[in-house]
């Protein structure tokens, strides 16, 4: 059975952050805890959100790590309860939004966070008691502002997914103006994250035509504008299209992702210093090559349709085009340049095989398949 479900109310325009208080009133949040990180605060973006909340008693947690952890969730949840908060506002990239989703669970549910992880059978344990969330993305990558999932590193160091329709933010405020100051490399890495979402969900075999259409259009927007946004951070048209592509990728990936994400989730748990979007960019070429022979890919000409969206002649051109794009954007030449060692392969593969994205790839990967993908990505 295919479940097709779109639920988030989205405010999408330059200057939309000014609607934050209006959305708090609509959702019913009168004492918000704002979840953000030190970089967003230092860039002055947090203050823009706070300025849009005059008169509200606001508490701020600004210690979200680049890969959010259970420890950070626990600290923020304690702050939530101590200040009698009634909802969450996430201001930041995917890390802050995912951290807020973890807090939404931890502040209202008992037990360790891993109890609610998807691969632990925890999704049905996440109930409507979760704290309401308003998401204000400041990067164009994860699209977590419209997604039902969060990726968090739990206390045993596994990087796990948490999925429930109760976790979907009640409102997403997508203001491309908040991304104008994003540094070039972060623009590139988060933009490639959005591209990976659009491509992987389009390749996933589940039946969801709306997701396919949304993802394919998102891919076209991101591919056409990522270089412009990276080269000139003040390019408003490029920023708008990249933010839309990010949102669209996450709207679509309710259909499922695949080996790119099973590998990047696992490796991100092995070494939390590595950026998720950059890892996705490194894995994409090898996974596209691996998926090319899948029956569902060939039957529906999915590589050819992606190639058309990217302005390429043939689906076989996609892996090299991604590698060329990575180079032009200034991203690493491969995993080795990021410090990954072949000695880590077994640990990475063990995590990938257990990841929730493993089984939604159009071809089921074996240990040997993952070894080959890792070697190609090095």
What is the rounded average pLDDT of the residues 357-377?
97
pLDDT at 71: 96
CA–CA separation, 345 and 353 (whole Å): 12
Between CA 224 and CA 58 the distance in angstroms is 39
CB 335 within 8 A of CB 377: yes
The Cβ of residue 8 has, within 10 Å, a number of other Cβ atoms equal to 17
Instruction: Assess whether pLDDT exceeds 90 at residue 7.
Output: no
**Does pLDDT of 4 surpass 80?**
no
Partners of 174 in the β-ladder: 12
The two tokens of residue 238 are 């490029």
How confident is residue 159, by pLDDT bands cut at 50, 70 and 90? Answer: confident
Quote the percentage of the chain above a pLDDT of 90.
92
Grouping H, G, I as helix, E, B as strand and the rest as coil, residue 260 is: helix
Residues pairing with 134 in the sheet:
89, 171
- Give the tens place of pLDDT for each residue, 36-61: 999 999 999 999 999 999 989 999 99
Predicted confidence (pLDDT) at residue 5 exceeds the cutoff of 80: no
Q: In the chain, what is the straight-line distance between the N-terminal and C-terminal CA atoms, in Å?
A: 38
Rounded Cα distance, 24 and 19, in Å: 9
**For residues 362 and 293, what is the distance between their CA atoms, to the nearest angstrom?**
9
Q: At what angle do helices 276-291 and 184-203 cross, to 10 degrees?
A: 30
Which of 280, 286, 250 is CA-nearest to residue 264? 280
The H or E element spanning position 252 is helix 236-252
- For residue range 268-289, list pLDDT tens digits in order: 989 989 999 999 999 999 999 9
What is residue 240's predicted lDDT score, i.e. its pLDDT?
97
φ, ψ of residue 59 to 5 degrees: the values are -110, 140
The span from the CA of 209 to the CA of 217, in Å, is: 12
Q: Which residues of 216-237 are buried (b: 16+ CB within 10 A; e: fewer)?
A: bbbbbbbbbbbbbbbeebebee
- Mean pLDDT over residues 98-113, rounded? 95
CA distances from 366 to 151, 254, 372 (A): 23, 24, 10
Cα–Cα distances (Å) from 331 to 184, 270, 334, in that order, read 10, 21, 9
Q: Answer yes or no: is pLDDT of 94 > 60.
A: yes
pLDDT value for 1: 57
Q: What is the mean pLDDT of residues 198-223?
A: 96
């Amino acid at each position: 059975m295919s479940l097709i479900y779109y639920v988030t109310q989205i405010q999408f325009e330059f200057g939309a952050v000014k609607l934050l208080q209006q959305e708090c009133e609509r959702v019913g949040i009168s004492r918000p805890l704002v979840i953000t990180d030190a970089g967003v605060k230092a860039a002055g973006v947090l203050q823009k959100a706070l300025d849009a909340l005059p008169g509200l008693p606001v508490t701020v947690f600004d210690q979200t790590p680049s890969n959010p952890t259970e420890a950070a969730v626990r600290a923020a949840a304690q702050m939530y309860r101590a200040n009698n908060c009634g909802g969450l506002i996430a201001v930041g990239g995917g890390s802050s939004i995912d951290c807020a989703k973890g807090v939404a669970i931890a502040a209202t549910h008992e037990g360790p966070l891993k109890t609610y992880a998807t691969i632990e059978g925890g999704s049905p344990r996440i109930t409507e008691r979760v704290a309401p969330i308003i998401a204000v993305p400041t990067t164009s990558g994860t699209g977590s502002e419209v997604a039902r999932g969060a990726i968090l590193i739990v206390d045993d160091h596994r990087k796990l997914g948490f999925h429930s329709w109760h976790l979907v933010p009640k409102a997403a405020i997508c203001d491309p103006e908040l991304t104008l100051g994003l540094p070039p490399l972060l623009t590139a890495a988060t933009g490639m994250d959005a591209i990976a979402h659009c491509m992987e969900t389009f390749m996933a075999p589940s039946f969801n035509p709306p997701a396919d259409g949304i993802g394919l259009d998102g891919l076209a927007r991101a591919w056409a504008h990522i270089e412009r946004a990276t080269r000139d951070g003040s390019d408003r048209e490029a920023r708008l299209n990249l933010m839309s592509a990010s949102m669209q990728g996450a709207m679509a990936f309710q259909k499922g992702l695949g080996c790119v994400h099973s590998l990047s989730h696992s490796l991100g748990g092995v070494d939390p210093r590595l950026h998720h979007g950059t890892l996705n960019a490194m894995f994409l070429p090898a996974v596209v090559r691996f998926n090319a022979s899948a029956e569902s890919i060939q039957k529906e000409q999915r590589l050819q349709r992606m190639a058309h969206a990217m302005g390429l002649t043939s689906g076989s051109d996609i892996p090299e085009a991604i590698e060329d794009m990575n180079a032009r954007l200034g991203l690493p030449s491969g995993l080795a340049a990021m410090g990954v060692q072949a000695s880590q392969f077994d640990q990475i593969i063990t995590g990938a095989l257990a990841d929730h994205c493993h089984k939604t790839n159009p071809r089921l990967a074996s240990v040997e398949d993952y070894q080959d993908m890792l070697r190609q990505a090095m």
